[in-house]
Chains A and B, each alone.
Chain A
Amino acid sequence: MKQSLRARSNPLAKTDTQQAQLSAGPFADGSLPTFEAQLQQHRLPAIRPKTLEILQLNMGYMCNQVCAHCHVDAGPDRKEKMSRQILQKCLDLLSSTDIHTLDLTGGAPEMHPDFRWFVAEARKRGVRDLIVRSNLTILRANKSYKELPAFFAEQGVHVVSSLPFYKREKTDRQRGEGVFGQSIEALQVLNELGYGKEGSDLKLDLVYNPSGAFLPGDQTALEHDFKKALQEDFGIVFNQLFALTNLPISRFLDYLIASENFEDYMHALVEAFNPAAVAQVMCTNTLSVSHEGYLYDCDFNQMLGMPVASAIQHIDNFDIDLLAQRKIEISQHCYGCTAGNGSSCQGAMT
């Protein structure tokens, strides 16, 4: 199996190397505007947070897959995980704030030893939308994990699953040999439990991201194609497809550089800049918490080591009013969320 950048001692495993790369080349020689300059050219103000609605937790970097595009650099060789103490702090936040959506990601969040306890506790605190970002294959990994779909249904978990494509070849190329077949099995199990079915409260959304150095097409058209193909070939149904742009971070950044696509990809992102998408970016209503309890504007900033620009940087001294006064930290990767129809963890935005 492939290894993470970190296990391979790849320079891009370090956040400062990634940050330097994102400001080099076309952005250093002025052939492309930095994201900050782009906002100024469009007379757009600095991005600031709105009402905090979503708490996104990165429960850790352990994962059973080593996807070629992973911005977290997750994998079986990564052991970092959120402590029980930090998890408890997150639960306290859910009780003391109006945050209505909890978004669990990783790695594979299901691999966290406290995962089930945490989901059940969060549910007791009245979270309206409890999202688990599942890679699907983990749900087929062993007997214990095979019980998770039933647990999800019992807890009313909203499952958001990665499926890069509705055909085997592209999916396996991006996520590893055999991933497509296991993902299909997991989706069929979720469907049997009522997930994704019309009239059911159990929501099953899929995430599409391009398997290469190109931007996603129209989300509605892709959703139509996914629904048709998965229904016809495997009898699978789901609610929505989220088309996500790959951001030039971590392993996808490594791929872009190694395949000599970095400059062209950044040109494509800049050319697709949509000023209307800026006001909708997910960092305006989301706060991302690292496994160590540090706070970030989004999961991407977390992976680039860019903490919130606030005196409050850790969940231990969380203060919603002080955090609301901050400016969102930006760099050139932000072009990924403002390209075309925009891209967020909930898909296209405009």
Chain B
Amino acid sequence: MGNVQNTPHRADVGVVDSSVQHAAHAHAAPTGFIRKYIFSLDHKVIGLQYYFLALASVFTGLILSVLMRIHLVWPEWAIPGIGIIKDEQYLGLLTLHGTFMVFFVLTTAPQSGFGNYFLPIQIGAADMAFPVLNMLSFWTTFAAFIVMLGAFFTVMPIAGWTSYPTLSALPNAGSLPWGQDLWLLSIALFCAASLMGALNFITTTLDLRCKGMSLWRMPLTCWTWFVTAILGLLAFGVLLSGGLLLLLDRNAGTSFFVPGGLVVNGVQQRHEGGSPLLWQHLFWFFGHPEVYIAILPGMGVASQLLSTFSRKPIFGYRAMVFAVMAIGLLGFMVWGHHMFMSGMSPYTAFAFSLMTMAIGVPSAIKTFNWLGTMWRGKIRFYTPMLFAIGFVSLFVSGGLSGPFLAQPTLDIPLHDTFFVVAHFHLIMGVAAIFGIFAATYYWFPKMFGRMMSESLGRLHFWFTFVGTYAIFMPMHYEGMAGRPRRYGSMVVAGGLFNRLAALMPLEKFISIAAFVTAAAQLIFVINLFWSMKKGEKAPVNPWEATTLEWTIPSPPPHDNFAGNTPVVNHGPYEYSVPGVERDYVMQTDPASVHAH
């Protein structure tokens, strides 16, 4: 194989011994099972490893949420193997649900999973820039997952996925040893893994693009993976610090986050001088970019699919790229909007609120451009397109509750109520999951060489789309009525405090909708595994798309382009070009096909 890989930068650096360097990329296909499937250096295998890790996590998270919904409306039900869910277990369930979903699904699948698999192929590279680092990154994530399962099976942490001290710092306040410690350890590992992944993504995007693949010719998926990686690079380091300090507070007797003079359950605490707000600053400095880490790749996938299946160039490609960059930049300036009610200086709320409202502008640009892409198109309704349209719908619905919460004034009644739960589930939870589903249906033929079942896919879409709205729309009403988050039970003290009891019928409706929607996910699992074995054989380019992954066999060979580096002559979304016979122009088509 030699040094025939694409290392376009080599020629102009003019240094000694460059062949040694990119020998790293030119690794031959390994033969043993372990080197091929377990400790693989191949970005495609690593991408699939991430994907299946996320799949395991998403079903863990889903089961946890079903248990939560059962506890909320039928607390007396005994679950086989678990028994009756207790109130503190409810808090454990919501903590781990949030953690699995945010970290191990929404961060892992769209970015590390699909990004790993398709970023190098879409920019015409044979692999990521640092294959060994890529492997280490996955196995560190896996270790974090195992440690988190450890937290699950020892003492479930109950401090929520945000783990605010002092609750999370003081064991006798409820964050018992092992559970909370393992949670923090797992998050620290996850941060380290994400940092490795992020710098790999950025370097790959900057350095390994093939000839002709200028930044302005990259598919929007690559742009979003790139910007997401920058966000991850800057955000996870801060959470890592915060997590380490909280671990020290719990185990080494320091008090970064715990002030003096506290008495917990009648026991005086030995801490002195810390501040609980410090954690909130560190956490949300990470936490807000994190929600964009979850949603940006979904935006990229939606853009890619809407263009492909509308048979139209994306509306406003550069506007889309600038919008993604603006979202990424503003995402670092808005963390305080999670803290309007926290006791932080009320003056800062002005700035944070203004910045947050400003994020609405690039988000609106994206929505406008998605609709603009469909406008006067020639839409083909394959399952991936259905999920992409669902993504846009959910993004709009979830996004429009943002301007309520971004205003400190309105945050007074709405903060920490179900309105917030509805908001972030629609926009960052389910919208991002729709992005993952869309990507799965779209790229499955490339990844596994077989088509997924269209009829099962459609069934899955309708159940999930309608079910999602049935679950999360009513939560807005509950939030407005003042139903706080993280309440395991609506009525307490023998029915004395029964303000929330009036919401019970709505709660029951939500629970039933959740059970149906959760059950419908089995359709997806069946479709996924059945199609891997029995699906119709996929052609090279089943969707008649233009980007580089559709120029190589399905599934792609070990080194993607078999040593033949592609040369790119066109932008990524050249559909229905007038005067061209076929309604799409591949990025690799000769330049003479169409000059624009």
Tell whether A and B belong to one assembly. Answer: no
Chain A contact residues, CB within 8 Å of chain B: none
